Structure 1
Amino acid sequence: MGFDVYERQSLIRLRLRLVRIGDAPPFSASDRQRLEGLIPLMDNALTLYSAYTHNRFIEQLYEELLGSMDIACIIMNARLEVLSANRQASEILAARDGVLLRHNVLACAESADQQKLEEQCRNVLDAVQGEQGPPAARTLTVQRTGLDAKWNVQVRSVEKKNVTFGEGGPELVLLLRGPVRDCVPSQARLMDLFGVTPAEAKLVAHLVDGQTLTAAAKALGISRNTARGQLASVFTKTGVNRQNQLVRLVSGAVAAHWD
């Protein structure tokens, strides 16, 4: 005795079988009736599980995509409390590079930027509550710490189709991006754009971040001669012959990618 439950969207099938062994009496009509009562419950459970796994897959896919594009992503509630952050965002927050955490609440280092951030977040939330067309989005710039550069920031509402979160649930998504010199490109992006090796990509990332060859070699735990050899190989692959030319080339290529 048993039943199958099938979820069409995910193609997941749940099978339940009950058997009696030995001299046990056969299943009665009341046994079958009780088992039938489980079917709608199992059907609902399978639907919820399918929706959860699908949403987790999409969430991980977007996180990997944003990471490969060097976009920092922060998910917040209406009080600007940070619920999650991808690797790029976590590094920026830890470095307190223009944005930081104060008791797990997102804040800007500059008071003027803080006012802009709070205002734009309120605008996004008001637009959603006013049903002015989901998802709402606003943009602003945030001054980076110790640099003559700014983050380009976009605040978006969390699209919640047929989903209701309790108080403190996700309401806002904040995306940060900047010029390559200000936001170091990922190793995968450098390998894809210029055909460099993983080791060469790590070196280029440090150079684009403004480090000298000696400082980059020390940070990577390699000798300066090894770093010079890797840099020479990068020059050959990119067609430049000076470090400042390489930085400009990488900056221009990744900036074009952002646009």
Structure 2
Amino acid sequence: MSQAADEARIDAMHGFSSSEAGQLAEFERLNQVFTAIYEGASEDPPLRSSLQALRELFDAKHATLILRPATAQNAGAIINSDTVNLATSESYRTHFHALDPFVDLPDGQVVTPEELMGSSWQRSMFYRQFLEPVQVGHLIGADLHLDSGVLCRFRVSRDMHAAPFSENDKLIARMVLPHIKRALQLHVRLDDLSNEHQLFAGTLNRLQLGTISIARDGTVIDLNPEAQRIVGEHDGLLLRAQHLSADSATERRELQRVLRQALEDRPRSGPSVIDSLSISRPSGRGKLCLVVRTVPRGLRPDSQQSAAAVVFLRDPEAIRMQGANEVVRRLFNFTRMEAALALLLADGLTLDEAAEKLGVRRNTARTYLRFIFCKTGVTRQTLLVRMLLNNIVSLA
């Protein structure tokens, strides 16, 4: 805590009795621990930094969290305060966790080993071979079963020459446990969201759909790999002073108008499509296709780090990755050649252009197209393209 904060706390306590001042100090100490616990929800591993605050709260030697699936037989993920020797932690992970009798505690109840085992605790092999050599004499703990199916073991230890844990210590532990449980559940949710984000980002990359995130002031704050590739070619769509631009003056003005509208008309919930436009390329290649969507405002104020709009970007001439070919084959039972032809048609090529790109005769390509029609149930090329776009190609 800073000196200014200490002085403010002391000033606030003037006028209180010594017992009231003590209660305020204890409340402030607990509040700092709760803050550390919730800040630790976003850490990986979770709550690592808060364990030092918990260790100090209990005047303990160590504070430990063990996270594992409820049915797992291994030690699980062990998160310790920074006072634990790495060799000691590893020896528990590889050997002593199987000997630990202080496990499978009543859900959410704070207990000591003596309460569960009596005098047999100090005669146990785990106590004599693991705890005594590292000078641990007293333990307090609780098990928490999270909604995600993860079991959390919370353990706090004291030196063998220290005082045993008191009823007041157990009371404080019972106050802390619900916050530890909520913070861990928040961590699981944040981890799920991160995994979903990576999954969706990977899908966009495989489908060769570029995404460009735009901040409230119009600056570009993030480009996925496909967008980086397209912008890096300097062919129609440009990045100037961290702002999206276009080679053509007319298209540049239209792009600026669309982006300005997206940034000004942000909804409170549910992203909406502002507009779509195409950007011509001086090289003569096919036009780039852009769709602009707003990002809901949410509760967090706008900043340079938060996206206010997203531009979805597609290069119709990009060579589709093998993964997309496999998806089309499985969805429609196409052969590899049929899938390749269908994807080229969806990219805007004519049948003649697709045949040339595949290195086959036009009549051969027409035969493949008839097979494609039979398998999809459509009878016209335009309907085929629409079906493919609706199923897998366009996510915007």
Match of 1:16 in 2: 154
Inter-CA distance 191–53: structure 2 relative to 1 (3 Å threshold): same
Paired letter, 2:241: H
Match of 1:227 in 2: none
Query: Is the Cα contact below 8 Å between 1:5 and 1:42 reproduced in 2?
Result: no
Match of 2:389 in 1: 258
Distance in 2 of aligned mates of 1:39 and 1:178: 53
Distance in 2 of aligned mates of 1:113 and 1:104: 18
Distance in 2 of aligned mates of 1:112 and 1:12: 57
Structure number with larger C-alpha Rg = 2
Match of 1:189 in 2: 324
Distance in 2 of aligned mates of 1:91 and 1:29: 63
Inter-CA distance 110–191: structure 2 relative to 1 (3 Å threshold): same
Q: How many residues align?
A: 218
How far apart are 1:16 and its partner, in Å? 0.9
The question of 1:124 aligning with 2:262 is answered yes
Match of 2:300 in 1: 164
Match of 1:105 in 2: 243
Match of 1:145 in 2: 282
TM-score (norm 2): 0.46
Query: Is the Cα contact below 8 Å between 1:153 and 1:174 reproduced in 2?
Result: yes
Query: Is the Cα contact below 8 Å between 2:292 and 2:311 reproduced in 1?
Result: yes
Query: Is the Cα contact below 8 Å between 2:266 and 2:297 reproduced in 1?
Result: no
Distance in 2 of aligned mates of 1:105 and 1:165: 21
Inter-CA distance 7–82: structure 2 relative to 1 (3 Å threshold): farther
Aligned with 1:154: secondary structure? strand
Paired letter, 2:238: L
Distance in 1 of aligned mates of 2:151 and 2:296: 29
The question of 1:3 aligning with 2:142 is answered yes
The question of 1:89 aligning with 2:220 is answered no
Aligned with 2:290: secondary structure? strand
Aligned with 1:258: secondary structure? helix
In the TM superposition, 1:203-218 aligns within 5 A as none
Unmatched 5+ residue regions in structure 1?
211-230
Query: Is the Cα contact below 8 Å between 1:144 and 1:150 reproduced in 2?
Result: yes
Distance in 2 of aligned mates of 1:173 and 1:165: 17
Paired letter, 1:258: L
How far apart are 1:147 and its partner, in Å? 1.8
Q: Which has the higher contact order (CA 8 A, sep 6+)?
A: 1
The question of 1:135 aligning with 2:271 is answered yes
Match of 1:55 in 2: 193
- Identity of counterpart residues, as a percentage? 23
